[in-house]
Chains A and B, each alone.
Chain A
Amino acid sequence: MNARPGGFSVSREVLFAFAALAVVLGLGSVFHAHGLFFKPETHALALWAVSGYGILACGMTVVIVTAGIDLSVGSLVALAGIVFAMGTMNAEWPGWIAVPAAVLVGAACGLFSGTLVALLRLQPFIATLAMMAFARGMAKWLTGGVKVQKMPPPATVEALNAKLAIFGVDVSISVFLFLGCVALTASFLRALRFGRYVYAIGDNEEAARLSGVPVRLTKTLAYVLCGALAGLAGVLFAAVERQGNPDAGVGYELTAIAMVVVGGTSLMGGRGGVVLTVLGALTIGYLRKILDINGVPTPQQLMITGGIIVLAVLVQSLKTEG
């Protein structure tokens, strides 16, 4: 059983993903950096650091369950960030126009990738690799290759950096947006017919098609959703940096894929889910945080992260035996 639509019982996959997170949290309580790990602020910051990537990972999950992949989300972060920054800073759009505009640009790029995959039957890897290059180029072209900045930053940018006090701890708005995206994608996959179609296509596209599943529409929508979420993530990353950076988001698609995979969603499609991805995102996010507070330098952090990905996926593959 996996975290599948309709099934709300705690599945083995979820238990495994929880176990991985528990191991990392256990490490944190051993290497607590003089009690720093036990401070609520540390956790608020860890969640904040995860949220942008986590939003990417939610959309990525939907695409991966269809047995696809989206390599373009990192570039879409840059492109959407540019649209948002130019809108708020240069054109002085209000937030209710600038944010949806950036999300729409992401969705439009997703629509394009999705069309290439679903209608023209390009391999997802290739179609989104092309979109990755195209969107990056577009971001640079729009800005002439320079960053978009304005001092002082517009009110919308500051509003997105606001924090809400939860039990006396300041939690960034982006954490709540992340949770909102989790709820959104999870309910898409579980509560909508669309979600069932996503799993069926990922498991056996031919059987799904011959059962009347609208394969092309469903696949296209998966990429649209992934692109729209990448657009939203792009807004958040731009807001944090208080600028639109055409070089932002490089390699983020790989972080998002790592989060999905560590959670236990199979790249073969048809299995997995957003709850797993959240656990995978937290596992990777907390690992980084713990290494951070213990002063482990970035090169070693990356090496350890690589090891953890292999380890997590190996453990995941054990459970599918027999």
Chain B
Amino acid sequence: MTAALARLSGIGKIFSGHAVLEDVDFELRAGEVHVLAGENGAGKSTLIKILGGVHAADAGEVVVGGIPRRFRSVQEAARAGVAVIHQELSLAPALSVEDNLFLGRERRGFLGVVSARAQRRAARALLQRVGLAVDPRVAVGALPVAARQLVEIAKALGQDARVIAMDEPTSSLARTEAERLFALIEELKRGGAGIVYITHRMEEIYRLADRISVLRDGRMILTRPAGELDRATLVRAMVGRPLDEQIHREPVPPGAEVLAADAVTVRGRTGLLLAGVGFALRAGEVLGVAGLAGSGSSDLLHALFGDRRAEFRGLRIGGRPAQVRSPREAMGRGIALLTADRKRSGLCLSLSVAENATLAALPQLSPGGIRRPRREAAAAARGVTALRIRCRSAAQTVRTLSGGNQQKVAFAKWIETRPRVLLLDEPTRGIDVGAKHEVYDLINRWTAEGMGILLVSSELPELLGLADRVIVLHRGRLTAQLDRREATPDRVIAAALGGEDRGGTAA
């Protein structure tokens, strides 16, 4: 095959005394997509940050274009033809799309003045390539996340990079946008670029990859052509043990009704986010809420947690009429909400595992407002053990944990409040296969203990695998209510698209 565009050999990286990468070899050839797979915390992002000049390696050699390099900055790496599209978007929200595209390499014209016209023309061309129809003068902050992701990709294209690394580029893209990206990747391949691609999605790995490398605990486990690596082997390499891809749900005979409403209505700025959605959740039951983006499923959870102003008709908690006007009130009634975005609204990242795990239960842990350090330590230890949180100690800062372990801390925070109803909004988003299965086990365990769970997940196999019953929302309306046998992917998708309309409410 062709020569290597980039070669990393013997790479080592240590963060605060902890080896994140050890003796890692990685090679990228011209015209290939090289998927970098591995669980969260395996070191994938760190590796491409070293390639892209964000971090300097503590050991090993980086060769790009046949020349050994020591990138001291992203700009240096960019000049050598390396572009990295990061998971955390690295755009300036207040600047316009075109300014972001050319940030740091403005088109200069006469007397070094930025040439606005040339820049706008170039910006339009780039946006067209990624299939994004926005005015280049709009501020990036005003765009939805998916559009921002595409701007980020356009920015990398504009650098004429030969080595392009993408860290979960489709995590916020819709189907059609993702397809557009895949076509673009093909185009880049044909143009002789090499692409390092990080993703958690199996379908994407096998759709795109020419070769696959697996990192685990900072070590390179294997590198193979995609055709010679079957799914089972890949998963085993990632997790380090054989793993059942099936989701097990151990149904529990449902108990008494724990949370129910005849109609929940939420008004948004432009219209109804939820229009009279009714449901009933019983103890030991997992009720899945399916729906596409904008269906109102997340709004339903936030409304039930008292975080959105909502109109309830016939809201019952534990079988009795009740109200929830604030998160505190909801918590007082035994309701807990795990939010979809743990970094933004789930965790205090620079506080410790213990501080996060005890935050919600603090009123019970510190009677009279006075803290009881021993009780708190015991509660934190309970959480770490029960959820098998992998941390050096409960005093470790949450920011330094892997995504899966961060999510477990968020779970621990709520379990300590001993909720009767758990509202889960995308509980496995951005966490690796192993951690996902641990979450599934926990869901089984908690429902067996009599908890009722309302589950929102955009991963349909997960939703259908776990839910005992499914309600489907379409633009704030209930379009189907299916039990486990009826809930086939086809029917759920049809209802999510607005098909199977059975009117507003159901008991």
Contacts and interface: CB of A to CB of B under 8 A. Distances in A.
A193 B344 contact: no
Nearest to B339: A210
B503 interface: no
A211 B352 CA distance: 15
A208 B327 CA distance: 11
Interface stretch (B83-91, B137-145, B191-199, B366-374): B366-374
Interface string A182-214: 000000001111111101100110111111111
A82 B363 CA distance: 40
A137 interface: no
Decide if the interface of chain B is mainly helix, strand, loop or mixed: mixed
A211 B348 CA distance: 10
A214 B327 CA distance: 10
B15, B347, B351, B366, most chain A CB atoms within 10 A:
B351
A7 interface: yes
Nearest to A191: B371
17 contacts: A6-B355, A6-B371, A193-B366, A193-B369, A193-B371, A203-B348, A204-B347, A207-B346, A210-B305, A210-B307, A210-B339, A210-B345, A211-B327, A211-B360, A211-B413, A212-B327, A270-B350
Interface string B327-343: 11001000001010000
Interface residues of A, number: 29
Contact of B327 (A193, A204, A210): A210
A211 B457 CA distance: 21
B350 A322 contact: no
A289 interface: no
B362 interface: yes
A192 B351 contact: no
A270 B307 contact: no
Given A196-B362, A322-B16, A6 B373 contact: yes
B376 interface: yes
Contacts of B16: 322
Contact of A196 (B15, B344, B346, B359): B359
B395 interface: yes
A288 interface: no
Contacts of B59: none
A194 B369 contact: yes
Interface string B306-328: 01000000000000000000011
A271 interface: yes
Contacts of A196: 355, 359, 362, 366, 371
A200 B355 contact: yes
A4 interface: yes
Contacts of B95: none
B161 to A, nearest CB: 27
Contacts of A195: 371
Contacts of A270: 348, 350-351
